Structure 1
Amino acid sequence: MQRWDRVEAFIEVVRLGAFKAAAERLKVSSSHVSRLVSQLENQLGTTLLYRTTRRIRLTEAGQLYYQHCQHLFEGFREAETAVKELQDTPTGLLSLTCATTFGERFIAPLVHDFMCANPRLEVRMHFTNRQVDIIDEGFDIAIRMGRLKDSSLIARRLCERREYVVGAPAYFTRIAQPHSLSELSRHRCLVGSRDYWRFDVDGVRRDIRVDGPLSGNSGPALLDAALKGLGVAQLPDYYVEEHLARGALISVLDAYRHGDTAVWAVYPRHRHRSAKVQHFLDYLVAHIGETLPPRGPRHET
């Protein structure tokens, strides 16, 4: 088993990119991890890692060894997990990732409730607007929005997600509301993390390039700008429906609203679907509607 300890230390160092991070993951000291990797290199008679003060880099031999051992070790850990979870009880560490605002507002409360009901479970939540590679970065589940790319991931639909183009009433007193997509070029568009907005034209998706005086990768920031009359923004329902209901925002171009914008839970196809993953997915599907704001009217124009 000492050899497995060395291999595990090497795999975690490469996967996490640092000895310190690997040590925290394995709950040992950084010096112990470094010693295990050195013992593995001595055992193999070759250098696996180039070490500098800032980063580590795989040698050619290290790359080859990692490619072979990664899958073997994952299989070993999954075999242990499968045996431990024969009682079908959520235990161990559950890792999930989600877009920041949606995760903080709607996923985190469900995670906390689920943990209260399953005290043997540990959870690592990572909120980011970057689409992570859940296999390479070690996540069990990712919550994603919109159209999913074809991949080896399995997807489970959680709920609908509408996107609105909105502006403040004061803004539309200065620039008339658009009634066609071509009229967007006359407007001050508040641009998010992508420089185009998605619409449906006669059932066909169409991406319209937009620009304007403000851009940013924060939905709440764009919402605030729209509320203050700086321009129009395309934002999901959970940002804007409250403001639409009280008249602080006006929805436009509803006839062209893109329909393929659901919220999904995705997870790797090839991994053992443990009790913790299965139970949490079932819980999300059953309870996601309890955290979302009430659905308003479609605000057709």
Structure 2
Amino acid sequence: SSINWIKNVFHQTVYHSFEEFYQENYYEDVYLEWELVNESDAQYIIIDQYGYWKFTYQPETITILFQITATHNYNTYVPSMTTVIEIIVEPLPILPINELHRQISSEFYLIKGVVQEVIENEWILIRDETGLIFVESYGYNTTFSIGDEVLVYGSYSYDSYEPTPIIDYSSEIVVLSHGNPVSTPTPVEMSIEEVRKMNYLDPTTAYQYITIEGELSLSGYNYYTLVDGDYKIELVLSSESKDILYDLYGMGRIKLTGYIMGPNYVNSNSDWSMIFCGTYELIPETV
């Protein structure tokens, strides 16, 4: 019967935080209607813009009860039947960022950290006790701020085409708290030539905090690079740091500080980039 099938397929099925939960609406000629037994359990469910159900982050295992009513579509003489099933939602392990760099690319993982930089609300740079990583945040209604502690469940990307480790697709970003302290490391001074000679296939190369020197070059409205002789680095900017470079453009040699990103593609050293965080120093002209 449909009730036995429902029990066999769904009862005590285990899901995880942020995982999609597909509600089967038909079994052969039977329509299945799902209802929460306890309305308060709605707090554990997110319905996205496409109508898919996902479970919210849970630090501990929870059980959600659903009542399922089975109604025959064509034979009105067959009475509807109901049953109650349990869906179990278990927490996902939170990976330290440095361990994330050793995981399988394109798989989804859960990390937690504090926002260090916000790039036009399209990217956020987050840090935990072990490292940093760039997270795509485009399309979220939430406005992220430096100092936000966030949970990120997304797809880890590190491969031969994009050697800089990033979270390139985030299915969920949850803000846990605001106003957390943000610590900035002491930058290492490097020439752009030295940066360009770093091993970009080593995932630990990315996100080193450095200071580089050169002259600003501007292409179009806001595509800035820092140039030193034959070498250059593209600058990834927030709206605030973009305003700073606008004022600095044409003022000669400067030092800029930020997080190195590496090249966008293998064998494309001209495409190295750095997240400019707003710290700079003008270099006096020598007579």
User: TM (normalized to structure 1)?
Assistant: 0.26
**Which structure has the highest strand share of the two?**
2
Q: Pick the structure with greater CA Rg.
A: 2
Judging by fraction of residues, say which structure has more helix. Answer: 1
**Whose RCO is larger (CA < 8 A, sep 6+)?**
1
In the superposition, the TM-score normalised over structure 2's length comes to 0.27
